[in-house]
Amino acid sequence: MRLLLIGFGNLGRGLARSILEGGKFKDLKVVGIVDERGGVLNDEGIELRQALEVAESEGSVAKMGIEGLSAVEAIRESDADLVVELTPTNIKTGEPGLTHIRTALETGKHVVTSNKGPLVIAFRELQKLASSKGVQFKYSATVGGAIPVISLARRLASGDEILGVRGVLNGTTNYILTRMEREGLSQDVVIREAQELGIAEKDPTLDIEGIDTACKLVILANSILDMDVKLSDVKITGISRISPEALKLAREAGYTIKLIGNADKKGLDVRPRLVPLDHPLNIGGTLNAVSFRLRYAREITISGFGAGPAETSSALLADIMEVLASSPAS
Amino acid sequence: MRLLLIGFGNLGRGLARSILEGGKFKDLKVVGIVDERGGVLNDEGIELRQALEVAESEGSVAKMGIEGLSAVEAIRESDADLVVELTPTNIKTGEPGLTHIRTALETGKHVVTSNKGPLVIAFRELQKLASSKGVQFKYSATVGGAIPVISLARRLASGDEILGVRGVLNGTTNYILTRMEREGLSQDVVIREAQELGIAEKDPTLDIEGIDTACKLVILANSILDMDVKLSDVKITGISRISPEALKLAREAGYTIKLIGNADKKGLDVRPRLVPLDHPLNIGGTLNAVSFRLRYAREITISGFGAGPAETSSALLADIMEVLASSPAS
């Protein structure tokens, strides 16, 4: 199967390295790579080792191909079967990922993405477009990193009924709450340390205020609960008012405090909630966890590392292999 | 798809009730039911409501069919596409389930089972037989109840590499340890209470001594890690020497004690281990949890209720629906 990678930062490069290792990924051929400065196309397959070297040393693959080549041009011109969209998330406009994904689907290409923006802005539109073109649109990596939340939900829904979904969907805030609880430190101190470690961004507002959690909740609700909701439908409270004292009191009573996104037919909200210490949603550090409320099985929870290039690569590759498994050889 | 149910106790009746509700299970037709005393066969489909009533009032469906009909006869004579084997587990001989499953596979029928015995005794043989006959053999319900451990493992293995698997695989011992920890009670007292509640069996040895956990670990190792191991390959230590004092000391240090089955290329063992309070394997009550160690994603853990008719029914139905989805209509 022929792949076109849009975006060649940490994620794209991690993916390229996994594909290079061969083995079970030997049927994947990368026929195009585009980054912010340009790109390279080759129907015979791109020499990935060279692309990685050029990208590391020059900061772009444009040097081995065409300076200024745009992703949209590349998507239109390439004979790729599948576009892997890995540009950064923009939750206000969904761009540039939204245009990339639209173009790919319109030209009959499967899409696998890690970009939350287009899904938060235009989930139904993209899903309908994919369906009308008879191609697949997969986005496991947008929620829970390496945790196969969406495919697990499909399996659960086949023999049971999913009544609701809730979870710890943001690794940064979970890391902050975990450190505050374990060491009694103030939120400011922990955030500064998390920024130094690269766990929190320079402007951590989207995480701290619960916006990132809400975006993932919207994706879960639309894809798993078959709802049609937008970010503005989520009632959001972040963690900024949680103190180490509150965590200490909770713990003495057998609880911890987690930032939980919750969705069911009654509505969507994100807010700090008490969680019993031995409940599966009490997970430490940068872990994420998603809990399904089910008619027969009551509750099934899955947890794992929600971010990081290797973890996200694992989710992207599983999506890519699913597309490969259900497509005729090409 | 035509189903033949072997075993009509709590599990079989729960399954029949789910199928009766129709909806997404409307393509399932039960053409035979056999219990210990006899059975009923009807190619046109059995009236499930009546079968449930007769089984409840008479203790057997034989009254509405043939007294003394054996499961093996029924499997040979029925034109069912799929045999659902739900007889009790015998880990020494695997019987009578082993003969039922062999007969079903040999006569070209798919098999879905909740019976651990045949899998512990003859995993490779049954897998090869199914493969040579071109039929499917599914056993999700044998490990982790409603938790779709096996199908999750398949998905994870497609984009990653599973290095090892470990878990809390026995709800009874987990309930006992949870109660001992929360209330400082002795193991004897908690076991007696668990027996009264129906959570522990009259003879709880298989649970307490870790044998049940070891059986499930063998199934996981053979199916997920592609090993070829038997119960005698597992080094087993149960929970009988764990005291409330040990649990208290562990908790003061930020840990709990869980009975953990662990399998990787180095070997298999079952023993009590310290687990950090905020680790995903710290789950309370009768919950089960399974943790995969992965090359890229590091660790993914899934938890849920490991036993109970409704939970197991959910796993059986998901397996049945998978067989249906991949079979030509019939």
Q: Is residue B88 reached through a cis peptide bond, with omega within 30 degrees of 0 on the bond before it? A: no
CA gap B221, A34 in Å, rounded: 42
Lowest mean pLDDT among A1-15, A95-109, B47-61, B149-163: B149-163
Identify all chain A residues contacting B311, using CB atoms and an 8 Å cutoff: 296-298
Write down the pLDDT at residue B329.
52
Nearest CA in chain B to A17: B296
Helix-helix angle B97-106:B116-133, to 10 degrees: 10
pLDDT in tens, A190-214: 999 999 988 888 999 999 999 999 9
- How far A321 CA lies from chain B's nearest CA (Å)? 7
- Residue A37, pLDDT > 50, answer yes
CA gap B106, B126 in Å, rounded: 10
Identify all chain A residues contacting B146, using CB atoms and an 8 Å cutoff: 160, 294, 296-298, 300
Write down the pLDDT at residue B187.
96
Angle at A121 between CA A119 and CA A125, to 5 degrees: 75
Among A residues 73-132, those touching chain B with beta carbons less than 8 Å apart: none
Instruction: Please report, for residues A156, A285, B80, B170, B295, the alpha-carbon distance to residue B151 in angstroms, rounded to integers and kept in the order given.
Output: 10, 27, 25, 20, 18
A216 is catalytic: yes
Top-level class of domain B149-306: alpha beta
| Total length of chain B | 330
Nearest CA in chain A to B254: A182
Identify all chain A residues contacting B317, using CB atoms and an 8 Å cutoff: 158-160
CA gap B210, B270 in Å, rounded: 7
Write down the pLDDT at residue A328.
62
Same fold, B2-145+310-325 and B149-306: no
From its phi and psi, is residue B214 left (phi > 0), alpha (psi between -120 and 50) or beta?
Answer: alpha
- Contact at 8 Å (CB) between A112 and A138? yes
Strand partners, A10: none
* Mean pLDDT over the full length of chain A: 94
Identify all chain A residues contacting B20, using CB atoms and an 8 Å cutoff: none
Domain at A149-305: CATH code: 3.30.360.10
| Total length of chain A | 330
Does domain A2-145+310-325 bear CATH number 3.40.50.2000? Answer: no
- What token pair was written down for A72? 């949209």
Residue B248 in contact with partner chain A when CB distance is under 8 A:
no
A329 confidence band (pLDDT: 50, 70, 90): low
- Residue A249, pLDDT > 80, answer yes
Query: In terms of DSSP H, where are the helices of A225-308?
Result: 244-252
The complex's ipTM? 0.86
Percent of chain A as helix, strand, coil, to the nearest 5: 45, 20, 35
* Mean pLDDT over the full length of chain B: 94
Write down the pLDDT at residue A330.
46
CA gap A255, A51 in Å, rounded: 50
CA gap B28, B22 in Å, rounded: 9
Identify all chain B residues contacting A282, using CB atoms and an 8 Å cutoff: 277-278, 282
- Residue A240, pLDDT > 90, answer yes
Strand partners, A188: none
E-only strand ranges, chain B: 2-6, 29-35, 38-41, 66-67, 82-85, 110-113, 137-138, 162-168, 234-236, 255-264, 267-276, 287-294, 298-305
- What token pair was written down for A286? 């940068």
Does A178 contact B278 at a Cβ distance shorter than 8 Å? yes
Kind and range of the H or E element at A194?
Answer: helix A187-196
Catalytic residues of B: 216
Residue B159 in contact with partner chain A when CB distance is under 8 A:
yes
Domain residue ranges of chain A, discontinuous segments joined by +: 2-145+310-325, 149-305
- How far A148 CA lies from chain B's nearest CA (Å)? 8
- Contact at 8 Å (CB) between A8 and A33? yes
Does B156 contact A318 at a Cβ distance shorter than 8 Å? yes
Does B146 contact A294 at a Cβ distance shorter than 8 Å? yes
* Catalytic one of A29, A109, A116, A216: A216
Please give the radius of gyration of chain B, using alpha carbons only, rounded to the nearest integer: 20
CA gap B218, B120 in Å, rounded: 7
Q: B114: which DSSP letter?
A: -
- How far A27 CA lies from chain B's nearest CA (Å)? 13
Percent of chain A with pLDDT over 70: 99
- Residue B83, pLDDT > 60, answer yes
Write down the pLDDT at residue A158.
86
- How far A285 CA lies from chain B's nearest CA (Å)? 9
Scanning the structure block, which residue is given the tokens 């309930």?
B175
CA gap A182, B112 in Å, rounded: 46
Does A318 contact B18 at a Cβ distance shorter than 8 Å? no
Tell me the whole-structure pTM to 2 decimals. 0.88
Q: What is the mean pLDDT of residues A137-156?
A: 91
Does B314 contact A289 at a Cβ distance shorter than 8 Å? no
Nearest CA in chain A to B316: A159
For residue A278, give the nearest of B147, B283, B317 by CB distance.
Answer: B283
Q: What would the DSSP string read from start to end of B277-314?
A: TTSTT---TTEEEEEEEETTTEEEEEEEE--SHHHHHH
